[in-house]
Each structure stands twice: as C-alpha cells, then as structure tokens.
Amino acid sequence: MKFERKDILGIKELSVDEINFILETAESFLEVSTRKIKKVPTLRGKTIINLFYEASTRTRTSFEIAGKRLSADTINISSSTSSVVKGETLIDTARNLEAMNPDVIVIRHSASGAPHLLATLVKQSIINAGDGAHEHPTQALLDMMTIKEHKGKIAGLKVAIIGDIEHSRVARSNIYGLSKMGANVVLAGPATMMPRNIEQMGVKVFNKIEGAIEDADVIMMLRIQLERQKQSIFPSLREYSQHYCLNRNNIKMAKKDVIVMHPGPINRGVEISPDIADDPSFSVILDQVNKGVAVRMALLYLLTGGSE
C-alpha cells in the first residue's frame, strides 16, 4: 500500500485500510525503542517542527522522541499563549515556518480546526497533535494499537469511554476509529458532559457508569478538568468521583479480562482510583505511552514518503 495523504488531521477521514496500514507500520517501529542504540537513520536530513500552542508534556515529548529515533532534526516551538495573544497570527507563523522548509509540522492548538487552517496554507505535511475539542488522531491510533496488542483484535469488542465527552478530542477520535474498526463504543457521563446528538456518531449513551462498563472489554477513562466546575458542568469533584470513578467495586461488572486505559494525565481518585490505575492486571496506561512513540514514528515515516 502506498500512503497518499499529505496530512493527518483526524481519524474521521481515514479508511480502515489506512488505519491498519499505520498500525502495522507502527508495529515495525516498536522494536527500535527496545534497542541499546535507539536510533535508525530513516529520516536523516528531514526536519520536523513541533508547534505547540497548548501545554503538553506527554504528546510533545513523544513526538520529539519519535522524530529523534528516526534521526530527523526536531525543533520545538512552545507557546503557552495563543497566537492571537502573542501578536502574530497563525497564518503568519505558518508562512514563516514554511519558508524554512521543514518536512513535517506537528501542531497542537486549543482552537478546533487550527491544523486544518494550517494544512490549507502550507505545502508541508501537517500532523494534528490535538485541536480543541475536535480530534487527537495520534492518541486514537496509539489506543487502537494498545487494544489490538492486548485483545488481538478490535472488531466485536465493547469499549466504554467514561467522563467529559463534550470537551474531549480523545473521545471523538476514538469514537471514529474504534467504530470504523468494528468495536461497539458506549459512553457514560452526566448529561452536562454529553455533546448534543452524539448518538449520531453511532454510539450508545448512558448517564451512569454501570450501564456502560457492564461486560466491557475495554474501559477508557477521561480526565476531568477541574476548571469545568466553574462552568457548572458538574457540582463538585467529590460528587463526581462518588458516581463516575472507576474503582475496585464497579470494575467487577466488566469482563474479567477488561483493560483500563487513560490518555493522561490522571486525576487519581477523581475519575480513576489509584489502585486500579496502578494494577497491572487492568491498567495499560503506561503501555499506551509506549505505543505512542511507535505510532508517531510510523506517521512521520509515512508522511515523508516512507511507503514509496
């Protein structure tokens, strides 16, 4: 298969074949990270810019490591404030970066659609590393890779995503990806965290965690952002954790071999109890992080013409 895309903006646009191809390519890169010398010359002479307009530790580091292990030159531009506050527009920043001839620009932005704007402006490949509440395609790809490794398949699995779906780009990308791959995706959270007409994405919605995690093969917990309390999305962390925290007690409703995932960073004791998060018989959270590097290596490789 030849990978034809210029950009990776979302899972929505990807076909099942493309997703499988990315995951297979990622498999072949897993091994590199286990070597003593964790470096291959594949992208020597290529330049990758990580343009991060939003705070990120995991994703930015993961992209940087992925680029470096492929011998690309990686440059990080972090701005805690938006381009508007900074005084230069995203369009001007993009044109300036384009003039320096990088090969790939990885962008994270708090505004949904910012990577799409960038992609229309510059000739370089764009990878969306998370845009607003829209998509986080590399997270969904690494999640699918993790599920595939632990379950041997994705089709036919029941996957429960729990928490603040409304504000979650991880949820949207996973709903697209997992549904395409044949999983049965269910959601749970209070009605204030469910975006309107989400059922039209082909998912079932529960207001209580129990209905969603019953017989689940995979449980994906989302981070609860403390500042949402101010917007009256929920009354208190105390009440939220009493009803939506995944713990030793309610996890019994899921399948015995259920795996527990979390895109991080975890609020221990809010959406997930510490003993579940740390229990290797359930938790694959750190495995997700590990897969993240391989998936990002695969995308950088494919977008720079690796499949030709």
Partner 1 sequence: MKMLLTGARIIDPAQNIDSRLDIFLENGKIAKLGENLSKSLKLKDSEKTTKIIDLAGMILVPGLIDMHTHLREPGYEYKETIASGSAAAVAGGFTSIACMPNTNPVNDNRSITEFIIRKAAEAALVNVYPVGAISTDSAGLKLTEFWDLKEAGIVALSDDGQPVMSAALMRRAMEYASSLKLPVISHCEDTNLSADGLMNEGYYSTILGLRGIPNAAEEVMIARDILIAEFTGTPVHIAHVSTAGSIRLIRDAKKRGLKVTAETAPHYFTLTDEALQSYDTNFKINPPLRSKQDVVAIKEGLADGTIDVIACDHAPHGRTDKEVEFEYAANGISGLETSLGLSLNLLSNKIINWPELITKMSLNPARILNLPKGTLETGADADITVIDPQVKWTVDVQAFRSRGKNSPFNGRKMQGKAILTIVGGEIKYDGR
Under the rule (CB under 8 A), what is the footprint of partner 1?
A: 12, 82-84, 89-91, 109-114, 116-117, 131-135, 169, 172, 195-198, 200-201
Closest distance between partner 1 and the C-beta of residue 172, in Å? 6
Nearer to partner 1, 48 or 187 (CB): 187
Closest distance between partner 1 and the C-beta of residue 287, in Å? 27
Closest distance between partner 1 and the C-beta of residue 162, in Å? 18
Nearer to partner 1, 10 or 67 (CB): 10
String of DSSP letters for 206-249: ESSHHHHHTT-SEEEEPPPPGGGGGGTSSS-HHHHHHHH-B-TT
Nearer to partner 1, 34 or 200 (CB): 200
CA distance 59 to 62: 5
Closest distance between partner 1 and the C-beta of residue 130, in Å? 10
Nearer to partner 1, 67 or 263 (CB): 263
3-state secondary structure 120-163: HHCCCEEEEEEECCCECHHHHHHHHHHHHHHHCCCCCCEEEEEC
- C-alpha distances out from residue 113 to 87, 176, 228, Å: 20, 17, 22
Nearer to partner 1, 34 or 197 (CB): 197
Closest distance between partner 1 and the C-beta of residue 154, in Å? 21
**Residues with Cβ < 8 Å from 61, sequence gap 6 or more?**
none
Q: Which amino acid is at 154?
A: I
